[in-house]
Structure 1
Amino acid sequence: MSAPAPEPRGVLHPRLPQGEFRHERRPPGAVLAGLIEHYWFVAWDLRGLPPQTQETLPHPSVHLVVEPPQARLYGVHQGRFVRVLEGQGRVFGIKFRPGGFRPFYSAEVAKLMDGSLAARDLFGAPAERFEAEVLAAADMDAMTAAAERLLLAHLPAADANVERVAGLVAAIASDRSITAVEQLCERIGLNARALQRLFKNYVGIGPKWVINRYRLHEAIAQLQQGQAADWVELALSLGYFDQAHFIRDFRALVGCTPAQYARRLQSTG
């Protein structure tokens, strides 16, 4: 039996107030581990209940998502992703590692930013078979097996830049001291313009955006854990020069100030 998935970062409402909601993850097989972060599955049952809104601040990753009416590939989403859940439903997805989609796509991943592409336009008829298998699957293990068959059948040639980029994004996500593009340039030995090109080509968006997104993920995680109370201290710890800039960025993405968000968490906790 697989271990429970850790709480996903960037989810603004970790628990729905009513109904049933399930979220599972599975790791990829060894051959795909350098390209795929994980497979994911969400299901909800709100029959007889009012619709509920789920909001997330997406990660810098491409996803292949299977749900009617068709399977689609989604590029990096810059803003807040809002989805209204109602009735009963389920969705299966493949989360590519940052940079991991580029070898399959063979084009600048930034072309998909805030956009999507039908899976069949990239993978052809096998994508339609994959979609049918996932929609008919009884459990996530069967869905994951179908995803592995599709991806292994289209396995691209090795690309050293994938690991290079994925390592940089992982460092940004885990190291709170990385707050400026210049720090990444020093780490990898590239100038800012070359680093920008590398990220747009492989991640689908620039490094400054990635840094900002993960610092806001950190802020949200702290608020959800009830840790943050001093907004000036939190802003400075995340690399902001002042509290006002931090609050402005937070409101623009989350739709409210950090204090308002903290109060909403307390009222629904």
Structure 2
Amino acid sequence: MYFTIPPHPALAAYIDAYWVSHATEDMQLCILPDSCADIIINIGSAKVMVGSQQLATYDAFTVGTMTVCNNSHHTAGSHLLGIRFRAGGMKILMGFPLHLLTDDHIPVSDISSEWQEQLQQLLETAPALATKISRLNQFFLSRLTIIPGPALRIQEGLRLIRQANGNIRTTDLAHATATGIRNFEKQFKEYTGVSAKTFCRITRFLATKAILRNTSPGQILQVALEVGYYDHAHLSHEFREMAGAPPETFLRQ
């Protein structure tokens, strides 16, 4: 069982969704790059493995921004509550160093024991899921104070990248946000976990994947040119790197 819950409207720019996964059997899933980063809390009684570590009930771990397919194993009986942050959102709301989490799973206690304790205290005394979500909303709303200037510039850069479907140069982003190129690149990586160039690649990948769902065989070259790839081969190479499978896998059946 898997479902999502929208965040408080005031948090929608920073949190994409809360999600709940309750596995009734062992599952192996390929999680594709989506430009987001997650905090995942074990809300079940079964222990959860993260790397070589076992996480007990209400232990939490982070999943950084993914640049390749992430194979995720859910054991039967696992019950997880996730917070899916939009690009930049985890840095803004929690101050976590996204550039140190890229393509990795790290227990929250390894980053900050204080954050682990706060999340545990919020959730362990709230037996109902609705109460857990309400407490998380209130917690994150309390973190929304004055958004620092760098965060606003990165948010504008992200908007421009999405508007261009990833077809925009880092120098143009720096100029549009009135930031020196080196400062922009440094801040972008701190807030999103990846370089602006890599984020553009992820954005093109996501746009391509969405179009392929409604595309018939024989139209991939057309899709490649529409999204901004040089040709079919360029699209296929980029797609395989991120999805671990050729674009034909995602065509309309």
State the TM-score, normalized to the length of structure 2: 0.77
Q: Which runs of 5 or more residues in structure 2 are unaligned?
A: 43-47, 49-54
What is the deviation of 1:108?
4.3
The structure-2 alpha-carbon separation of the partners of 1:254 and 1:182, relative to structure 1 and needing over 3 Å to count, comes to: same
Residue by residue, what CA displacement relative to the aligned partner does 1:77-108 show, whole Å, maximum 9, x if unpaired?
A: 22212223453443222223322322455464
Kept after mapping to 2: 8 A contact 1:108/1:200: no
Which residue number in structure 2 is paired with residue 129 of structure 1? 121
| Identity of matched residues, % | 19
- Hey, what's the Cα distance between the residues in 2 that align with 1:231 and 1:103? 38
CA distance in 1, matches of 2:123, 2:66: 23
Letter of the 2:34 counterpart: H
Corresponding residue number in structure 2 for 1:244: 233
Tell me if structure 2 keeps the 8 A contact 1:130–1:147: yes
Cα 1:197–1:228 change in 2 (3 A) is farther
The verdict on how the C-alpha distance between 1:217 and 1:118 changes in structure 2, with shifts beyond 3 A counting, is: same
| Matching residue within 42, 45, 54 for 2:29 | 54
Aligned match of 2:67 = 78
Correspondence list, 1:184-223, <5 A: 184-223=173-212
Q: Say whether the 8 Å CA contact 2:160–2:173 is kept in structure 1.
A: no
Paired residue for 1:257, among 226, 246, 249?
A: 246
Choose which of 66, 80, 83 in structure 1 pairs with 2:41: 66
Distance 1:93 1:44, change over 3 A: closer
- Residues in 1 aligned to 2:79 and 2:205: alpha-carbon distance in whole angstroms: 28
Gap change, CA 1:26 and 1:261, over 3 Å in 2: closer
Query: 1:80 touches 1:254 (CA, 8 Å); kept in 2?
Result: yes
Any idea what SS the aligned residue of 2:118 has? helix
Q: What is the distance in 1 between the residues matched to 2:87 and 2:249?
A: 32
TM-score, with structure 1 as normaliser: 0.73
Q: 2:8 maps to what in 1?
A: 28
Decide whether the 8 Å contact of 1:97 with 1:166 is kept in 2.
no
Number of residue-to-residue matches in the alignment: 236
Deviation (angstroms), 1:182: 3.8
Amino acid at match of 1:26: P
Gaps of 5+ in 1: 1-20
State the alpha-carbon separation in 1 of the partners of residues 174 and 143 from structure 2. Answer: 33
Aligned match of 1:110: 99
Deviations 1:18-58 (Å, cap 9, x if unpaired)? xxx3322212253x455x323322334545xxx44332223
Q: How far apart are the structure 2 equivalents of 1:228 and 1:217?
A: 19
Secondary structure class of the residue paired with 1:101: helix
In structure 1, distance between residues paired with 2:8 and 2:217: 35
RMSD: 2.9
In structure 1, what residue type is equivalent to 2:152? E
